[in-house]
Amino acid sequence: MEPAVPAGDDPAAAPPRPALTTVVREWGRIGCIGFGGPPAHIKLLRDLCVERKRWLDAREFEDAIAACNLLPGPASTQLAIFCAWRVRGRVGALAGGIAFIVPGLVVILALAALYLVGSPPLWVLGAGAGAGAAVPAVAVQAGTSLLGPSWQRRKHTVRWLAYLAAGAAAAATIGPWLVLVLLGSGVLELGAQRAIPLRRHADTPGILALPALAAGAVTGGVLLSVAWVAFKVGALSYGGGFVIIPLMQADAVSHYHWMTGTQFLNAVALGQVTPGPVVQTVAVVGYAAAGLAGGLLASVVAFTPSFSFVLLGASRFDRLRADRRARAFLDGAGPAAIGAILGSAVSLTRALTEPWQYAVLAAALILLLAFRRGTVLTLLGAGVIGVIIAVAGGPLPH
């Protein structure tokens, strides 16, 4: 099914359908300049599709944001794919989504190669140590920014607090099982609201693939393990890009030992300061596990659910928003995901090893929470401090 003219618009007055090359160029441009995560991506997509080109009306764009937030995985990436689908059909969704993702992927893999070599330059180590020290502060900022809207939407205060606490405790202590806590919170809320059980729908094959991927991760080689970690990131994460951090940390550092805690902090920092979706961080984990092949595999697996959700279900987004079962599930999984983001700050802080890193963390908390400075500038500033300390002969984490 191809997208139709926006509801309420006169078909004769609708803007002409853009060429596929236009979609690739415009979505690629956003992928190149989209620093700052989902808020920046949403603004750039709105400026393009609603304000400048008028391919979508404002109401449809806002509805698309709401629908994407009901889906697991990176919401701003799904929004980019949806907008491309809306203006150029399924082929446009594939071309636009890939153009949006690839620039950041190229940059982050290049930086991963620089950071993860056997003997990176001293200034690289210092920049990573400084930026990594600020990452727990970014997690706190990401979680607290979501608390207010979620609190206002809560259906039951005690259950909301319980889901929040469960997510925080799981992220801080039992990272590998966090997915079960997120799913369990959603299922419990479904039962509590007496919502009708979910029927089979377009993303059922992805859920059915979960046991096979899990078995492969346990019994198979490193690439199957990379695919399993990436699948959890792309198909089973709720609450925005930063909830992937606790999902990945326990696997990459503690379970599979692909990275040290310091290297993982660097990977998270890279995902924040490069353009494109934050989920690109999983490519660094894949690179640490299996080189370039692992990085590319991790990215493909992590983003495939987003393409699947849009290509198979974009025409049903309006019904998804009205589906009380989907909303009930998110009423449970959403607070748990926010708790997980906040809880990840605990495990990320435990990865710091040098006293000066705690000072950088404190300064980052002040900048982000008290002065509301931008994430990218804060991380870059922390990286500069790390470079200065490294060049001056200060201690660096190992």
Q: What percent of the chain has pLDDT over 90?
A: 47
pLDDT tens string 253-304: 988 999 999 899 988 888 888 887 888 999 999 999 999 999 999 999 999 9
Tell me the two tokens of residue 209.
Answer: 């693939």
* Cα radius of gyration (the chain): 21
Burial (CB count <10 Å: 0-12, 13-18, 19+), residue 187: middle
Cβ atoms < 10 Å from Cβ of 108: 25
Q: What is the pLDDT of residue 212?
A: 46
- What secondary structure does DSSP assign to 222-273, as a single string? HHHHHHHHHHHHHHS--SSGGGHHHHHHIIIIIIS--S-HHHHHHHHHHHHH
Helical pair 20-33 and 38-46, crossing angle rounded to 10 deg: 140
User: 276-297 burial, b if ≥16 CB within 10 A, otherwise e?
Assistant: bbbbbbbbbbbbbbbeeebbbb
Sequence-distant (≥ 6) Cβ neighbours of residue 289 within 8 angstroms: 222, 225, 226, 252, 256, 258, 298
Nearby residues of 234 by Cβ (< 8 Å), 6 or more positions away: 72, 73, 74, 279, 282, 301, 302, 303, 304, 305, 306
Complete DSSP assignment for 85-121: HHHHHHHHHHHHHHHHHHHHHHHHHHHHHHHSSSS--
Instruction: Say how many Å lie between the first and final Cα of the chain, rounded.
Output: 54
Asked whether residue 214 carries a pLDDT value surpassing 60, the answer given is no
Cα separation, 182 vs 164, whole angstroms: 10
- Once rounded to an integer, what is the mean pLDDT over residues 348-358? 93
Counted residue by residue, the chain has a size of 398
User: Which of 246, 283, 251, 243 has the alpha carbon at shortest distance from 267?
Assistant: 283
Q: Is 273 exposed, middle or buried (0-12, 13-18, 19+ CB in 10 A)?
A: buried
Mean pLDDT of 345-354: 90
Separation CA 136–CA 140 (nearest Å): 6
pLDDT score recorded for residue 338: 87
State the chain's mean pLDDT as an integer: 85
pLDDT confidence bin for 213, thresholds 50/70/90: low
**Rounded Cα–Cα distance for residues 261 and 133 (Å):** 11
DSSP 142-202: HHHHHHHHHHHH-S-HHHHHHHHHHHHHHHHH-GGGHHHHHHHHHHHHHHHTTPPPPPP-T
- pLDDT (0 to 100) of residue 9: 46
Contact 183, 325 (CB under 8 A): no
Task: Map tokens 């999902």 to a residue.
Answer: 247
Which tens digits make up the pLDDT trace of 37-60?
787 788 899 999 999 999 998 888
pLDDT in tens, 328-337: 888 898 899 8
Question: What is the model's pLDDT at position 160?
Answer: 95
Burial class (CB in 10 A: 0-12, 13-18, 19+), 164: buried
Q: How far apart are CA 5 and CA 15, in angstroms?
A: 9
Report percent pLDDT > 70 for the chain: 88
What was the pLDDT predicted at 240?
Answer: 61
pLDDT, one tens digit per residue, over 186-204 is 899 999 987 545 444 444 4
Highest mean pLDDT among 39-48, 145-154, 160-169, 340-349: 160-169
The amino acid sitting at 39 is P
Q: Return the higher-pLDDT residue of 239 and 77.
A: 77
pLDDT of residue 68: 84
